[in-house]
Amino acid sequence: MFQGSLVAIVTPMQPDGSLDLPALRRLIDWHIEAGTDGIVIVGTTGESPTVDVEEHCQLIQTTVQHVNKRVPVIAGTGANSTQEAIELTEQAKNLGADACLLVAPYYNKPTQEGLYQHFAAVAAAVDIPQILYNVPGRTGCDISNDTVLRLAQVKNIVGIKDATGGLERGTDLINRAPASFMVYSGDDATSLPLMMMGAKGVISVTANVAPKLMHEMCMAAFDEKFELARKINAKLFGLHQKLFVEANPIPVKWVLQEMGLIQSGIRLPLVTLSAQFHEPLRAAMHAAAVI
């Protein structure tokens, strides 16, 4: 249902931090024309922690309406409160999202049983395809593979975004999960080898600035054209690395601004990219031929 390069799209903002919905619509069109296989809205890269509930819903609605079924739309609806996650997931379903992405509850550090019950409760409450999101480097909470495999038995939990960066771990999931359960890389730098092991694609930061190349790399991997996929990945690898020199989405928003695609807005506590990283990122942009 969802396969390939799924962009974890930024939330464009005006210099004062207000939403820039016209820029979001332009980005969506650019992505679809470039081959992006799906749009993930209000995830980590979309600054979900600092948009309020009304803005969260507005971003999902704007994306669903503007995409107009051209590609799937996956809405970030995770929270560290189970009830809040249920409410956001219900709203995303009502707004027409094709699926939801639910990050592991952050800060409160539940046990593995608590994680299982949290995700199972959201799945039971809202009948929409749901993708787990494991990013322990941000959440302070790690969904174990055994817990993921328990959750894979829940009918509308259809996959996981594995942002651990661990190839061994991702491969173990792919090997042990039901055939219908989709594993996506959540780490651009290791996405190609994980796809070669059987992952269904990548929920990508790099795709924000190089959508055509990310799509082409995924398609080459799926077609077992591994030499071509490796060549594309080598071209992109500087971006895979340098887009994380500071906390995401600081670098990727700076690059998009350099490309003339968005304005400079970003919300506190995030601030614009430190000057020391400008030239390294420009070098990565030139290597990938995005400028």
The pLDDT of 217-233, averaged and rounded, is 98
155 is catalytic: no
Residues 153-176 pLDDT 10s: 999 999 999 999 999 999 999 999
Residue with tokens 């506190």: 268
Is there a contact between 38 and 6 (Cβ–Cβ < 8 Å)?
yes
Give the model's pLDDT for residue 291: 87
- Name the catalytic one among 106, 107, 109, 133: 133
The pLDDT of 272-285, averaged and rounded, is 98
Give the model's pLDDT for residue 1: 73
**CATH numbers and ranges of domains, the chain:** 4-223 (3.20.20.70)
Give the model's pLDDT for residue 289: 96
| E strand map for 122-230 | 130-134, 157-162, 182-185, 201-204
CA 282 to chain centre: 23
Q: Residues of the chain with pLDDT > 70: what percent?
A: 100
- Give the span between the Cα atoms of 34 and 220, in whole angstroms: 15
Write phi, then psi, for 135 (nearest 5 degrees). -140, 70
What SS3 class is residue 76? strand
- Give the span between the Cα atoms of 20 and 169, in whole angstroms: 38
Give the model's pLDDT for residue 219: 98
161 is catalytic: yes
- Name the catalytic one among 161, 200, 242, 253: 161
- Give the span between the Cα atoms of 273 and 46, in whole angstroms: 16
The pLDDT of 71-82, averaged and rounded, is 97
- Give the span between the Cα atoms of 64 and 96, in whole angstroms: 6
Give the model's pLDDT for residue 252: 98
The pLDDT of 174-195, averaged and rounded, is 97
The pLDDT of 107-135, averaged and rounded, is 97
Which residues fall within 8 angstroms of residue 99, CB to CB, at 6 or more apart?
1, 2, 72, 73, 74, 75, 128, 129, 130, 131, 158
* Both tokens assigned to 235: 């071209």
**Mean pLDDT computed over every residue of the chain:** 97
Residues 6-49 pLDDT 10s: 999 999 999 999 999 999 999 999 999 999 999 999 999 999 99
The pLDDT of 82-106, averaged and rounded, is 98
Counting runs of H as helices and runs of E as strands, what totals does the chain give?
12, 8
